[in-house]
Structures are given as structure tokens and as C-alpha cells.
Amino acid sequence: MDEHMKRRLDKQRKLFSQLGINLDALTIHEKEFSMKLRGYDAEEVDTFLDSVIKDYERFYATIADLMDKWQEQQEELRDMKAEVKQAAAAPVTLMKGIDPKDLEEIVLRLETNVRQLKDRIPRSEGYL
């Protein structure tokens, strides 16, 4: 195994460990089951597959949580854009002490952050 792949797998293991996920792709790939007279030990296989299922449930929960947070940020962003437009159109600032130009700059930074988050989230049909 080359050094780049080893570093990548180490990073993946650390992230999974932080998320409480026990298995990674290499562990699953390298798993060997002991043989009995007529094939694999069914209990051992079932136990291993139960671990895989638990990890997939954690993956799903993590992804769902991230998507919920992303949607909340989208709603906040839309609300802030509307406030900026409203503040720019009216000579009186709706939020005392905040210059509409500063607020517009904040919104632009938030949009940049949201674009960066979108780039990090794997694209699939139901989400983006």
C-alpha cells in the first residue's frame, strides 16, 4: 500500500472514530470469516453484518443532520437577503446600529460559506 493511501485511510479512521463509527472500507474489505465443515460460521457473519448495519445507520443519521442544518442556513440566508433588500430600499435602517452595507457583506460571506459546504457534501439525487 502506498504512503498516500495509508495517510488517507488513517484520516478516515480518525474521522470515523470521532463519529463513533467502528468500521472503515479497508476493515470490511479485509474481514475474513473462519470456515466450518460446510461453510462460513453463520453467527460470525451475522455479528459482523450487524456492525455494518449500525455504521450505516450512523452514516445516515450524520448525513441527515448535516442536511437539516444546511437547510436551516439556507432559510436564514434567504431571510437576511430579504432584510438587506428592504433596508437598502428604505432610508431608515430596520436594525439600529447595523449599516446595510455591512449586512450585505455578511450575507455575501454566508453565501460563500454555504457554497463551500455544498462542495463538501456528496451530490445525490434527493439532496442538491
Q: How do residues 61-102 score in pLDDT, each as one tens digit? A: 888 788 889 999 999 999 988 888 887 776 554 556 677 778
- Provide the pLDDT for residue 74: 93
Whole-angstrom distance, CA of residue 107 vs CA of residue 73? 11
The reply to whether 45 falls in a domain is: yes
The reply to whether 107 falls in a domain is: yes
- Provide the pLDDT for residue 125: 54
- Provide the pLDDT for residue 126: 57
What is the DSSP secondary-structure string of the chain? Answer: --HHHHHHHHHHHHHHHHHT----HHHHHH--PPEETTEE-HHHHHHHHHHHHHHHHHHHHHHHHHHHHHHHHHHHHHHHHHHHHHHHHSSS-SSTT--HHHHHHHHHHHHHHHHHHHHHSPP-TTT-
| Share above pLDDT 70 across residues of the chain, in percent, rounded to a whole number | 88
The reply to whether 97 falls in a domain is: yes
- Provide the pLDDT for residue 113: 85
The reply to whether 126 falls in a domain is: no
- Provide the pLDDT for residue 93: 46
Whole-angstrom distance, CA of residue 101 vs CA of residue 50? 55
The reply to whether 33 falls in a domain is: yes
pLDDT score of 124 more than 70: no
The reply to whether 42 falls in a domain is: yes
Phi/psi for 22 (5° steps) reads -85, -30
Count of structural domains within the chain: 1
Range of the domain at 50: 7-120
The reply to whether 24 falls in a domain is: yes
The reply to whether 13 falls in a domain is: yes
pLDDT score of 117 more than 80: yes
Within 10 A of 84 (CB to CB), how many other CB atoms are there? Answer: 20
Q: How do residues 20-42 score in pLDDT, each as one tens digit? A: 888 877 788 788 888 777 888 88
- Provide the pLDDT for residue 75: 94
